[in-house]
Amino acid sequence: MNRLARAVTFSALGALPFGLISALAADVHEPRTSPVATSYWIAPGQVGSLPARARYHDGVGDVEVLFGQGPVDLGGNAFFTPLGSNGRACVTCHQPGSGMGLSVEAIRRRWQETQGKDPVFAAIDGSNCPSLPQEQESSHSLLLERGLFRVSLPWPRTSGPDGSPVDPEFTIEVVRDPTGCNTDPHYGLGSPDPHISVYRRPRVVANLKYLAVDAGAQIFGAAGPFNAKRLGMVMDRDPDTGSYSAMNIMSDAREPSLKMQARDASVDHLQVKQPLTDQQLQSIVSFESQVYAAQGSDQWGDDFSLAGAPPSLGARNLQQSPSGVLGDNFGNPAFKSFVSWQEQAPSISKAQASFRASVIRGYDVFFNRPFWIRDVTHINTVGLGNPAKRTCVTCHNLQMVGTDASAGWGDLGTTNEPWADAALSSPTYESQRPDLPLFKVVCKPEARPHPFLGRVIFTHDPGRALISGKCYDVGSIVMGQLRALAARPPYFASGSAEDLRAVVDYYDRRFNIGLSAQERTDLVNFLSVL
């Protein structure tokens, strides 16, 4: 253990290799500390109520969902009401049983139970392309296999969310189009109303007090209205309040507030015929702002809501902790202290004790183990240098949720060549039968190029660049929160990591960390309890 590891006094206890079991969204059960009540899936328009706290099996224990304002009457809540023309509600893609995200297992199960008739499979974005025969399972393969929804964005983009002009610094060429949507005569880039189709995972609608914040007041302080990442960039404003957004809500940061996101989603995903009323939008935002989701227990008997559990675990601690706290320090760490698990009670089983020890070691790796963070736009480019010898918490620095406090988009490589899966450079490219589109991005001569990929970039999803029009943003995605993870695989915006082990393996490959088998298992176990 190095000097830094000793400084936080994590003890290395006996090891028990323990791999994470693939998460399964199953029926909810009665937890010891939370009343319960419903199934893995809530259909829009369903009557009844949800308890203030409920737990749902997720394969490694239970995910816990807490409503801060008490029990929820489904019938009187816009979040659960089918507001558009396709029968969906917000809950369709943000299920309590999936930790307010949506696991691919839940999607598959829903397909089987409804023969693909559930509104979640709506042609507009629940299929690979609306022009495909919707009754065929293969037309929904990206949703069924990766949990990906189609996101259709106008391209070339001409204006930002606030109406300011955008003049894209690059051109986009379709290299590969397995879904057919980017070359579709009605939906594609060459259509009369040109749009680009990219495919992304839904984000978690919980713990939003940590993400949907007034950037100037809570995060940046003296940096005022500017992006703390030294771009000289002014943050987008919430048009209702005039405050500067932290721009951490959506994968591409295209909407600065929950209200604007809800309005955007009602059109793109719910297909409303009339704009939502202010009352409906406020109802949705009010509901979203009091939902907390986290792993509630593990399979070895630890209930994270009981006294003696680590103070970062469980939904109640998320509700009660302050937001906007930087956790990249020893004094107030990102996921606080696990010291209570170091004092092993004699009553716990050997397996439980070993699992706790593994989690503690995983947190130690996450917090303390330096490696070379390299070629990540908006991380290495913000004054750290490239590469930078740092740890996971350098980027996952916002306490309790593990996002990046400062407008957390970056190009980790999950959508860009050469790190994205099915890379053109991969010797097994042809045999991998790549299922995502591939675009060739060419930066204009006057543009500032992508810092580490230059002026020609191959990507599945240009990410933030589709909004900013900036070449240096190609492939940059807003970091997702690290809570309720076990309930909602697969991971990364592209759904490319099927489980937490695949996430850890990706980082190990991407940064050549050299994690041992034990360290990988420990990291997976640590992530599984968040």
Residues in contact with other proteins by the rule CB under 8 A: 4, 7, 162, 164, 216-217, 219-226, 228-234, 324-326, 328-333, 367-368, 370, 372, 374-375, 380-391, 393, 442-443, 445-446, 448-449, 451-456
CA distance 200 to 143: 9
Nearer to other proteins, 137 or 240 (CB): 240
Nearer to other proteins, 137 or 162 (CB): 162
Q: Which two tokens stand for residue 177?
A: 């189009």
- Return the closest-CA partner of residue 376 out of 403, 412, 404: 412
In whole angstroms, how close is the CB of 453 to other proteins at the nearest point?
8
3 state DSSP class of 126: helix
Nearer to other proteins, 207 or 380 (CB): 380
Nearer to other proteins, 64 or 328 (CB): 328
Residue 17's identity, in one-letter code, is P
In whole angstroms, how close is the CB of 386 to other proteins at the nearest point?
4
Residue 418 buriedness (CB in 10 A; 0-12 / 13-18 / 19+): exposed
> DSSP string of 466-487?
HHH--GGGTTBEEPPP-SSGGG
179: CB partners within 8 A, 6+ apart: 128, 129, 132, 142, 150, 197, 199, 435, 437
CA distance 439 to 416: 9
In whole angstroms, how close is the CB of 384 to other proteins at the nearest point?
6
CA distance 80 to 270: 12
> DSSP string of 209-260?
GGTS-BIIIIIIGGGTTB-TTTS-PBPPBPTTT-PBB---SSTT---SSHHH
Residue 108 buriedness (CB in 10 A; 0-12 / 13-18 / 19+): middle
In whole angstroms, how close is the CB of 228 to other proteins at the nearest point?
8
Nearer to other proteins, 156 or 451 (CB): 451
CA distance 149 to 151: 6
Nearer to other proteins, 227 or 283 (CB): 227
Tell me which residue has tokens 């009665």: 30
In whole angstroms, how close is the CB of 391 to other proteins at the nearest point?
6
First to last CA, the chain: 24
In whole angstroms, how close is the CB of 510 to other proteins at the nearest point?
15
Q: Which two tokens stand for residue 48?
A: 């009844």
In whole angstroms, how close is the CB of 169 to other proteins at the nearest point?
11
In whole angstroms, how close is the CB of 330 to other proteins at the nearest point?
5
In whole angstroms, how close is the CB of 378 to other proteins at the nearest point?
10
Nearer to other proteins, 37 or 234 (CB): 234
Nearer to other proteins, 7 or 175 (CB): 7
Nearer to other proteins, 288 or 375 (CB): 375
Residue 230's identity, in one-letter code, is R
